[in-house]
């Protein structure tokens, strides 16, 4: 019986992780009513890397470095000023980005 529950739990977690980290989000990817958002003015590099599509550790660090040097972002579109972040990345994440 434990084996069945363990298998079900693992299957659920795999499904959850693929929904959270999918490369093509849909309307901020709602999963059981939880909307994935991130404040680009306060998030750590680790949070940015985990929550933004197409943003890995290097780009996330660039976002934080840019913010520390230039001040807070005024809009999601201002992310294109960060080295390695283009309009396509902003569009993929527009529904996730908060200020």
pLDDT in tens, 23-42: 444 334 445 567 889 999 99
- H or E segment and range at residue 97: strand 97-98
pLDDT in tens, 59-97: 999 999 999 999 999 999 999 999 999 999 999 999 999
> How high is the pLDDT of residue 9?
54
User: Quick one: DSSP state of residue 9?
Assistant: H
Sign of CA dihedral 45, 83, 17, 40: positive
> How high is the pLDDT of residue 13?
57
Q: What whole-number distance in Å separates Cα of residue 15 and Cα of residue 24?
A: 15
Provide the strand spans (E) within 14-79: 38-39
Enumerate the β-bridge partners of residue 34.
Answer: 31
Domains of the chain: 2-98 (1.10.150.320)
């Amino acid at each position: 019986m434990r084996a069945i529950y363990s298998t079900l739990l693992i299957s659920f977690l795999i499904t959850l992780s693929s929904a959270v980290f999918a490369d093509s989000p849909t309307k901020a990817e709602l999963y059981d009513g939880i909307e994935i958002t991130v404040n680009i003015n306060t998030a750590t590099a680790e949070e940015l890397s985990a929550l933004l599509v197409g943003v890995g550790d290097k780009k996330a660090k660039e976002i934080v470095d840019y913010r520390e040097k230039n001040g807070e972002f005024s809009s999601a579109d201002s992310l294109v000023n960060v080295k390695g972040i283009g309009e396509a990345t902003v569009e993929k994440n527009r529904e996730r980005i908060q200020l």
